Amino acid sequence: FGIKKIANSTHKIKKIGHRGAAGYCPENTFPSYDRALEMGADYLEIDVQLSKDGKLVVIHDTLVDRTSDHKGKVSDYTFDELKKMDAGSWFSPKFRGARIPSFEEVLDAYADRVGLLVELKKPSLYPGIEDLIAKELKKRNLHLKGKDHIIVQSFETESIKKFHELLPEVPVGILINYPPDKIEIKEIAKYASYVNPKWTVVNKRVINLIHSNGMKAVSWTVRSKREAEKLKHYPLDGIVADYLDLIE
Ligand code: G3P
Ligand code: CA
Closest Cα to atom 10 of ligand 1? 60
The pLDDT of residue 23 is above 90: yes
> Is there a catalytic annotation at residue 60?
yes
Contacts (Cβ under 8 Å, ≥6 apart) of 116: 43, 44, 46, 106, 107, 110, 149, 150, 151
- pLDDT tens per residue across span 158-192: 999 999 999 999 999 999 999 999 999 999 999 99
Q: How confident is the model at residue 10 (pLDDT cuts 50, 70, 90)?
A: low
Mutate to test the pocket of ligand 1, among 18, 218, 236, 239 (most ligand atoms within 8 A of CB): 18
In the chain, % helix, strand, coil (3-state, to 5) comes to 35, 20, 45
Predicted confidence at residue 129, as pLDDT, reads: 98
Total-model pTM: 0.95
**Residue 4 pLDDT greater than 50, yes or no:** no
% of the chain beyond a pLDDT of 90: 95
CATH classification (class only), 14-63+103-247: alpha beta
Q: For residue 167, give Cα distances in angstroms to 13, 124, 233.
A: 26, 18, 34
Mean pLDDT score of the chain, rounded to an integer? 95
The whole-angstrom separation of Cα 211 and Cα 215 is 5
Cα of 26 vs centre of ligand 2, distance in Å, is 14
Alpha carbon nearest to ligand 1 atom 5, residue:
220
Ranges of beta strands (E only) in 19-160 are 43-50, 56-58, 115-120, 150-154
Structure confidence at residue 248 (pLDDT): 75
Q: Does ipTM top 0.95?
A: yes
Report the pLDDT averaged over residues 56-63. 98
Q: Does any ligand 1 atom lie closer than 6 A to the CB of residue 27?
A: no
Q: Is 175 in the pocket of ligand 1 (CB under 6 A)?
A: yes
- Residues 95-132: pLDDT tens digits? 999 999 999 999 999 999 999 999 999 999 999 999 99
Mean pLDDT calculated for residue range 194-214: 98
Confidence check: pLDDT of 7 > 80:
no
Cα–Cα dist 114/108, whole Å: 11
What contacts 24+ positions apart, CB below 8 Å, involve 201-204?
A: 201/176, 201/177, 202/230, 202/231, 202/234, 202/236, 203/179, 203/234, 204/234
In ligand 1, which atom is closest to the CA atom of 155? 5
Q: Is the CB of 242 under 6 A from ligand 1?
A: no
- The secondary structure element, H or E, covering residue 15 is strand 14-18
Neighbours of 109 (CB within 10 A): 14
